[in-house]
Chains A and B, each alone.
Chain A
Amino acid sequence: MIRVTLPAHLRKLAQLDGEVELRLEGTVTLAAALDALEARYPTLRGTIREHETKKRRPFVRFFVCGQDWSHEPQDKLLPDGVATGKEPLIILGAIAGG
């Protein structure tokens, strides 16, 4: 089970109160986590990654165990802390305000 923290706009869109817990089959990569998130909450498709290319949207960032994973390859294995559910995968808007 992994944990995912979403920004307020996306929590509201997916009608979530807190973190998301996702069960992943196979290797725990960023792509696998995002695939599982979008499969469970289809309304989030296109909001974090582009529909067709699966590229991260420009104003979205990923943080993992205190490190910026925004520019890491999506097929890279997530750290054990995230894979075991000890630490969340944090998805957030790149800048505040607006």
Chain B
Amino acid sequence: MKILVGISKSPDTTSKIAFTDGNSKFDENGVQYIVNPYDEWYALVRALELKETIGGTVTIITVGAAADEAVIRKALAIGADEAVRVDADPKDAYYTAAQIADYAKSNGFDLILTGKETIQYNGSQVGGMIAEALDLPFVSLATKLDVDGTTLKLEKEYLGGIQSVEVALPAVVSCAKGMAEQRIPNMRGIMAARTKPLTVIPAVQVEDLTSFTGYTTPPAKSSVKLIDPNNMDELVALLHNEAKVI
């Protein structure tokens, strides 16, 4: 089975989020980049588990600059066979999805996996966009994924509950928590990643559907009002009369 996994870089989850250039750009100063957790922990690891049980190859693809190759090597160290980098600034989800779809179209994959969203844009857009561009079925927010011959059996988050679905391959799936467990790359994996193939391809031209024009950070909370733990009636009264939330 040929599996393609879309990988994005994300700022480390402990990063201080600040902006620069008149609040128009994310301030990368001192920021460590990691593989977006949903792409790595769930999509990539499940792809590797499938490869280990039923055979096949795992290709990762990212849209980004040469500086992102450290993140790509991390994904290779975890166990992907090869990597593709589309040499472009990922302007928005549509741009990114169009690049991945274009590569997938000419290279033929049985299964395309993405994380459910990135932890910086939280858009949940790229997977569904790839599916539409390739006219493939799409299952979002999958928490369990098994392959039975040419059929995918999945569980997905559905409006607070869980839905079981099946779909014939090829298909696109976005992956959420529960699908797999995080893997820590070992020394052998890290060494092997240095020599695994990393192909750089040019971007295809795509219109800009959306752009971010600026950012703001939430206003700081005024100081906390402390309530005596033995006087919960007071808290309830405050929630009712002052905060007006109950």
Is B one of A's binding partners? Answer: no
Contact surface of A with B, Cβ cutoff 8 Å: none
